[in-house]
Structure 1
């Protein structure tokens, strides 16, 4: 009888064994990749002082998509701070048009942090000079009309409630400034406000990394270091959408016009979260922390292009838009 090789008699079985070997090899590679952990470019995160520091505020509907939670939390915090509004005009004006009432309808949240026994050193952040140039001309006027501004040590942040709320934001990056420090430029809390907001809304470390400086998460988005980034950087001019952030250089880098020049944690910046776009009035409404010593809503008047740009208002020039990639 003619000898027939085993492989020829059972070709299907041989193919199955080969497929199994290939699948096992692929599984091993996936396992090794999983053991490798996060990429080395992903920066470490500070441990929040207390878990309560970044819980979703109880007034916010848990069923909302994360992007809508961001906006809802921003609006709630703005109301909690007294609803201050700042006009960023086409005429170069930058003035408080509705000061904080410091009489919010929402209850005061108890401070989640303890004694300031480990805060003698100011945070490693460039944003402590964010508004130095603006505050230096607090008595300025626009076309002969007095322009209200609040220098350090004044405004809502100098109140007991303002201190408690700002401490709550700092807790997200593991810091505990005291009430005196909160009112100083070296402890500017605009970046920690947005960091707290993002965590409270539900963004994880694969989507957004917290920081004491805006230039930290802006560079994260610019360089694409996160596996599931919630934001990407877009140059100006651009029309922001609800849930985007608008950002600009401040202090010594106020007139920076090249996004590539932003240095991680070293470039002084400021960012606000867009909560409304009124195309009829040509105004973008954005909420940010430590804006005239409060959580304020900026009414940003658009230029002739109908978009956010870096030239319409030279007092507060913008540099980029952080595009929100999450669904509404």
Structure 2
């Protein structure tokens, strides 16, 4: 039986009675780090929906959580609480959600909207490259879309130029850690308890050794980040835990539970992660304009 996802309560911010005029689309700078084409020009990205670029509502954590949960539901609400090293590699393409009819195109939308328009990756999908050529499922890792998913959610929620959109998680981890992102602030998992709408990040493979003290790194590194969608849970499998949603986890948009202490932190004072699967290297606080939409539920 699929566990029921419980959402955290989010405090409404006081908002003025008179709505300000909706801003017009504005240029979005491409971050320097880890882009195939290098630093791009300032541009208004016409791949992005009008409601996002003009910020018809303030950039808010409720929308980011809701968009991530919507995508998770679209993929069938999978939950992955096991250790990824114990998961067998798929032996046939047909069992991979990212290649299913209707879903491989959705991943194409993550690339098309999430990345800046001069990047090769905008033309990728869940099973085709920039030339429209289908690639073998054994090569899916070359087209990993977890950072594209995060970029998509932030872009559609109206982050505009406050998020360093990239096909690589380390781009925005390093941008936050170096103070180069106006919309992100990097924190040590020992000291900061993530809130709904924040990101938690970990190095992958040989980069599992990356810790907060190592950031920012001089070069990009393999990493993964998930969007926090629920906090202060008590239940299986970890007791006190939070829930994150990430892309390209088991070839899907997937919910993962993460153990935390009584204060909601990911690591003990000596820096040891409470999660034996993931040595979290950073929490990225997202600097929202509001906690909720001003007319949420109306």
Give the 3 Å change call, closer, same or farther, for CA 255–41 of structure 1 in structure 2. Answer: closer
Query: Match of 2:180?
Result: 225
2:158 alignment counterpart: 202
What's the TM-score, normalizing by structure 2?
Answer: 0.67
Corresponding residue of 2:142? 186
Considering fraction of residues, name the structure with more helix: 1
- The whole-number CA distance in structure 2 between the counterparts of 1:315 and 1:292 is 15
Q: Distance in 2 between matches of 1:42 and 1:269?
A: 18
Give the greater-gyration-radius structure (CA).
Answer: 1
Distance 2:199 2:242 in 1: 11
Give CA-to-partner distance per residue, 1:151-201, whole Å, 9 cap, x none: 894431121222111111111324222514495101110001111111111
| Offset, 1:230 | 1.7
In the aligned structure 2, how far is the partner of 1:256 from the partner of 1:152?
33
1:256 alignment partner in structure 2: 210
1:233 CA displacement: 0.2
- Structure 1: unaligned runs, 5 residues or longer: 1-36, 88-92, 95-133, 140-148
1:325: Cα distance to partner? 1.9
Q: 2:87 matched to 1:138?
A: yes
Give distance in 2, aligned partners of 1:300 and 1:234.
17
Number of aligned positions between the proteins: 231
Q: Does 1:247 align with 2:201?
A: yes
TM norm structure 1:
0.61
Which residue of structure 2 lines up, in the alignment, with residue 295 of structure 1? 253
Question: RMSD of aligned C-alpha atoms?
Answer: 3.4
Q: Which residue of 2 aligns with 1:214?
A: 169
Secondary structure of residue in 2 paired with 1:166: helix
Is the CA contact 1:54–1:196 (under 8 Å) kept in the aligned structure 2? no
* Aligned counterparts of 1:214 and 1:320: Cα–Cα separation in 2: 12
Contact 1:81 1:162 in 2 (8 A): yes
**Kept after mapping to 1: 8 A contact 2:211/2:282:** no
2:296 corresponding residue in structure 1: none
State the secondary structure of the residue aligned to 1:78: helix
The aligned residue for residue 162 of structure 1 is 103
Are residues 164 and 313 of structure 1, via their aligned partners in 2, closer, same or farther at CA, if it must alter by over 3 Å?
same
**Cα 1:274–1:182 shift into 2, 3 Å:** farther
- CA deviations on 1:251-283 (whole Å, 9 max, x unpaired) are 111132244345366211000010110244411
